[in-house]
Amino acid sequence: MSDLPRKAVTRTAKLAALPLGFAGRATLGLGKRLGGRPADEVASELQERTAEQLFKVLGELKGGAMKFGQALSVFESALPEDIAGPYRAALTKLQEAAPPMPARTVHRVLAEQLGKDWRAMFDTFEDTPAAAASIGQVHRAVWSDGRQVAVKVQYPGAGDALLSDLSQLGRVARLFGPLVPGMDVKPLLAELRARVAEELDYALEARSQHAHAVEFAGDPDVEVPDVVHQADQVLVTEWMDGVPLSEVISGGSQEMRDRAGQLLAHFLFAGPARTGLLHADPHPGNFRLLTDDGPAEGWRLGVLDFGTVDRLPEGLPLPIGTALRLALADEADEVYRMLRAEGFVKPTINLDAEAVLDYLRPIIEPAGREEFGFDRAWMRAQAARIADPRSPAHQLGKQLNLPPSYLLIHRVTLSTVGVLCQLGARVRLRAELREWLPGFDPEGTEASA
């Protein structure tokens, strides 16, 4: 696959074929079981083939298909371990790479966007992409002033492909249910669709990235490469090396995992407080662990891709920190009152305050400890509790509402927790909340409750 398939009929046909492929493998599996092969052996083979087909198609199509796959990939830690294995390798492939756009197409876009003499802007330009993602790919180059730079080139037709893919995926959303127990993927698709215009706007992305680069310049924990040049479909930023978070997940030491997890939690809460912006695409492909010969406490988190952000001029909403603090203090009635006031419980719904707090307690456990060990077992337990139709948590969860203003914050937080569980990181989350989350610090926010 060497270019972005632009014809809607081609992309739709590939996505529409997924259900047929799943059904065919199920029929084949039944035949093998009737032929005497053990059920668990057949099931494992079917899961592996399903994962390979599903994410091969999503990765080849790039666009909205790949973006959806990347969004799903951070939740693989919620899968039961006997199912997660076949999916994990296929999912993580979407976090770092996709089939590249041919050099001739790249050159055409650069000539259209930067002018026919675009090569004069660079000392060198590498035709082989260093990374490829959902709507564009990145090339390494040297800017005319000698700086190492990353040149992000948007795929021609990316906008149409994004919208077409997300519409088609919405029609087959039920197929993805087993991938993320307890999660309805339709709201995820709707939210991705709502962000298409922002994702394609490199001018908006450049402003968001520059704001972060300025705020975190010289920071001991976070580094953001600054913007060098921007056109409609081309974004040039400073180059940043480092260990991709996907590599830390797959083979990093515990020291690397813990430091990466701590930094990721720090950025989740410090970013909005310091910039008024929430980085809203927290899959591992967008982060690097910047290590050196010194102790792990000096390692930093490199942050990439600011195409999707949530604008929070006052930082994260005050009710989040206040409600979290009250929940940890077992103030069930006050928590319930705040949830109703913020729209998490609709006016027509009446719930038992203690039952709501029981629903929340396991989820907020990491915030109640000075250090918490995130792992796949904890994530699986949360997913299973909410996904089981027989559980009180499942029944209560169906009656809660997610207000639109909290939708992106919820997805980013959930995705970040998913990555922390993939890392298996020990994180001092409570310290980050005290410092950066409005309403959480009991010393300074009692009056706000």
DSSP string, 101-151: PPHHHHHHHHHHHH-TTGGGGEEEE-SS-SEE-SSEEEEEEEETTS-EEEE
| pLDDT at residue number 26 | 39
| pLDDT at residue number 407 | 83
Please report the domains of the chain, with CATH numbers, ordered by start residue.
Answer: 103-158+197-238 (3.30.200.20), 318-448 (no CATH)
| pLDDT at residue number 148 | 98
CA–CA dist 130, 142 (Å, integer): 13
* Residue 255 structure tokens: 């020291």
Q: What is the DSSP letter of 175?
A: G
Residues 317-329 pLDDT 10s: 999 999 999 999 9
| pLDDT at residue number 184 | 62
Whose tokens are 């992305």? That residue is 205
Give the residues across from 300 on adjacent strands.
290
Residues 63-77 pLDDT 10s: 555 566 666 655 566
Stretches where the chain sits below pLDDT 50 are 1-9, 11, 19-44, 46, 95-97, 445-449
| pLDDT at residue number 391 | 86
| pLDDT at residue number 430 | 97
| pLDDT at residue number 281 | 87
| pLDDT at residue number 115 | 97
Q: Are 293 and 267 in contact (CB under 8 A)?
A: no
| 237 HSE (CA, 13 A, CB side) | 26
